[in-house]
Amino acid sequence: MPNVVVVGAQWGDEGKGKIVDIYSRQAEVVVRFQGGNNAGHTLVVEGEKIILHHIPSGILHEGKLCVIGNGVVADPGILLDELSRLAERGRNVTPDVLMISENTHVITPVHKKLDMAREAKASPEKKIGTTGRGIGPCYEDKASRRGIRMADLIDPEKLRERMKILLEEKNALLTCYYDEEPLDLEEVLAELNPQGAKLAPFVTNTTVKMQQWVEDGRNILFEGAQGALLDIDHGTYPFVTSSNTVSGNAGPGTGVGPGALENIIGITKAYATRVGAGPFPTELDCETGDRLRNQGAEFGSTTGRPRRCGWLDLVALKHAAHLNGLTGLAVTKIDVLGGVGEIKVCVAYELDGKRIEHLPGQTDQIANVKPIYETLPGWEADISKMTELDQLPAEVHTLLARIEKAIGKPVVLASIGPGREQTLEISSPYAT
């Protein structure tokens, strides 16, 4: 049976957590391959909302192996808090079911302090809307070969040595450039050492295990964070996240070759949202945008920030489909469009008086495009309790068909509400 990669096809917040939860039923291994705790995957199980930031959504299923891959940057305090909250819900997570790569980079207090200081110092037009969780500074240290990894965190002597070097540089930056107080090495170690001791049983060489599971033919589900349009190389730079969010990073983010990435499912809402700064061609700064936000509960699961809302952008979606090599698409929050009236989808842009049907390569160009819309009929019915695809109004089928035509790939799943049971699976990526 094939391996499956699940990625966001917009600016994040597309509902990946729910889709990973659904597909986890057929997977044996669920692995997160990039991002940090700035991503919150929200699931609703038996009416209870559960938000996961680091741990793969598959942890809610018995008998699944879950992995935090080397491409992730992890906040040990947040991770331990997540484990504690799962235990309170009766899900006691042990090293037998959760493994953390020894090469996963660690978000430390200095990363978070730098993140906030940098955003505070930036002028309004230069702010990128960071969550302040330290993800960017941690990835910077990874690229500059100064990072602290899980293998360092669980070794007090190595941690002291590497943290001392890191603080010498970061404290100079904090005090001299950002006019902030320096961090004390002993205080930082007093916070990190107990966290390392608690996480040590979970830390292992997951690369070797992943490669063996691929050879053994196990079903592996690769879970991404954020969305394709926030990719550091292919997104709306600099208003992006600090990692490669596209499906191709599932290999280097876990230690397997590209041949292991078979079915690639992109997730899109039936409309569009974005959190933070950056261009958003179809944004609705009007009553309709407010309705989508309120009906769709569009507030960040990590920060609580209201999301910007707009019509579905098929140009950007097609771009994401190509970047990820999608084999299928899951469409979420279709129910939110009920009662909106006529529905618009962006099919092209106008830039400098010319019609274009591709996403421009430069962010300032994206900020200046005017969306060209196609109008589709809306529906009034509440579809959230429908249990069969053929029960959906004809107008919903029209919308899904228009999406398929735009990206040239089939819609394989339709989500009509937040609950597990509010999911209509058209075809399974695990079908043999």
Enzyme catalytic residues: 13, 41
Per the listing, tokens 């790939």 go with 409
Task: Give the span between the Cα atoms of 131 and 169, in whole angstroms.
Answer: 23
Residue pair 8/267 in contact (Cβ under 8 Å)? The answer is yes
Helix (H, G, I), strand (E, B) or coil at 268: strand
Residue pair 91/55 in contact (Cβ under 8 Å)? The answer is no
DSSP label of 200: G
Six-digit token pair at 104?
A: 């996963």
Residue pair 323/331 in contact (Cβ under 8 Å)? The answer is no
Closest CA to 302 of 139, 133, 420, 150: 133
Helix (H, G, I), strand (E, B) or coil at 264: strand
C-alpha torsion 239→244→248→254, nearest 10: -160
Provide the β-strand partners of residue 328: 265
Closest CA to 62 of 24, 19, 101, 32: 24
Per the listing, tokens 């609705």 go with 284
CA distances from 131 to 115, 119, 297 (A): 8, 9, 19
